[in-house]
A and B are shown apart, each in its own frame.
Chain A
């Protein structure tokens, strides 16, 4: 496939998702309102907790802003893969999409990347609203982008595993559920250091823990690339393991669904 046609395909997928999003008029507005309400709640929570509580030496509202914003972004990204397959199964488009000239992994990847793009807009909106609430951001651009990219690659891999599980057993939601239920281990709302030793160890094998740690260092403390090198290294190892594993698993489940005639089951 040429770069031009890949670009063209990305464009039509983004256009499809954008048109679908804005044509759910109320849903679009509710999402924006939901994000602002959440931020307001965190703002007042941090005020109630008081200025004495400074996790990892950071002001608590900023800690919450980056933790919840980036955690939600990554979780929604994983969910996007699942949603891509689920919606296509429910609307009956999956089988048809699988007979186009575009290969299935590319198709699922592009669709999910489009959803990632939409989530990035939401994340930026969230961070911008956080600035209005007075969160002091000191971003280091290169370090932030590096953590962001590696985290997205890992989320893509986990998303592909969710999509594959959806094809195999129609329960890809288990991955999103599992990821969603370990939020308290990842340092989203309070530091990992406050957990007992066994849970702290468990937190280390969850990639999001390192994504949040790296992102806080880069966005709130202005840490340069060298300052986030430890987190980047761990994230790179996760990516090297998860990416090939997820591609193999997705290809296997897709072939299995074609053999068993269960592509459109949901």
Chain B
């Protein structure tokens, strides 16, 4: 049984402009974010979602997490439908959103995690240990009792990852998780993601970073203008430039990929 299934899923965002649209120029019409996308994500895999901005990566993750509901088609998480069994889905999914500041600013990192853990039905007795473990794994142990309003972007990002993992979810959704991380922290994070399938989790990671995709993924799906443009496995031997070529050939964004020119700095 796949961990996540998308069955011909479509999602359209309609733009409702203001009453007096002649005063400004607000967009009208609609945006087709996903167009009949079908995808199976095998259990225990790390699926990397690649695609340019606006291709539907975040929409896909939000649909899986129940933040959004599909207009057409079905999204299933371990066979639970996000429409009819949304609670069962929410119990199985952890989502590190791209919005950095999705925390309560005047609570510390520890207090924030404890809060979300309680809402996720983690018993009071086990919460402190679980929170401590995740703060350590995400490198936030020293900042555990700092109010998060004093956090840097990278620290917010790490806290978001800790929150996504708090319930030991069966499916972990990561939206550009290393966007604000320094190279060392990103490498540390990639190790953490590689561990997740060994603990039984399935990971779906949206990124623009080919290094990240090759470092952690074993499947890749390319979304382009709301459609699934390609899907393939990512063998451990795959190089970053191979993936880059595959991506650009699929999307046709660049007809020919220029070789990387390394300039010497005088």
Contacts and interface: CB of A to CB of B under 8 A. Distances in A.
Given A5-B121, A103-B87, A259-B69, A96 B116 contact: yes
B48 interface: no
Contacts of A15: 111, 115
What 5 A-B pairs come out closest when comparing CB atoms? Answer: A92-B102, A100-B119, A92-B99, A12-B118, A23-B106
B119 A259 contact: no
Interface of B: 11, 13-14, 59, 62, 65-69, 71, 87, 90-91, 93, 95, 97, 99-107, 111, 114-116, 118-121, 123-124, 147, 163, 167
Contacts of B106: 19-20, 23-24
Interface string A226-266: 00000000000000000000000000000100111101100
Given A92-B97, A259-B69, 15 more contacts: A16-B104, A19-B106, A23-B147, A24-B106, A91-B103, A91-B104, A95-B67, A95-B99, A95-B102, A96-B97, A98-B67, A99-B93, A258-B69, A260-B13, A261-B59
Given A16-B107, A101-B90, A96 B69 contact: no
A101 B167 CA distance: 10
B101 A92 contact: yes
Contacts of B103: 91, 93
Nearest to A103: B87
A258 B67 contact: yes
Given A96-B163, A97-B119, A101-B121, A91 B91 contact: no
B38 to A, nearest CB: 21
A93 B95 contact: no
A8 interface: yes
Nearest to A263: B67
Given A8-B124, A95-B67, A102 B102 contact: no
Contact of B114 (A5, A12, A258): A12
A107 interface: yes
A54 interface: no
The A contact surface, by secondary structure, is: helix
B137 to A, nearest CB: 19
A200 interface: no
Contacts of A96: 95, 97, 102, 116, 163
Interface of A: 1, 5, 8-9, 11-13, 15-16, 19-20, 23-24, 91-93, 95-103, 107, 255, 258-261, 263-264
A16 B99 contact: no
A231 B118 CA distance: 39
A95 B163 CA distance: 13
B111 A16 contact: yes
29 contacts: A12-B114, A12-B118, A15-B111, A15-B115, A19-B107, A20-B104, A23-B147, A24-B106, A91-B102, A92-B101, A93-B104, A96-B97, A96-B102, A96-B116, A96-B163, A98-B67, A99-B95, A100-B120, A101-B87, A101-B90, A101-B91, A101-B120, A101-B121, A102-B119, A258-B66, A258-B69, A261-B13, A261-B59, A264-B99
B34 to A, nearest CB: 11
Contacts of B97: 92, 95-96
B90 A91 contact: no
Contacts of A107: 119
Contacts of A93: 102-104
Contacts of B123: 5, 8
A10 to B, nearest CB: 10
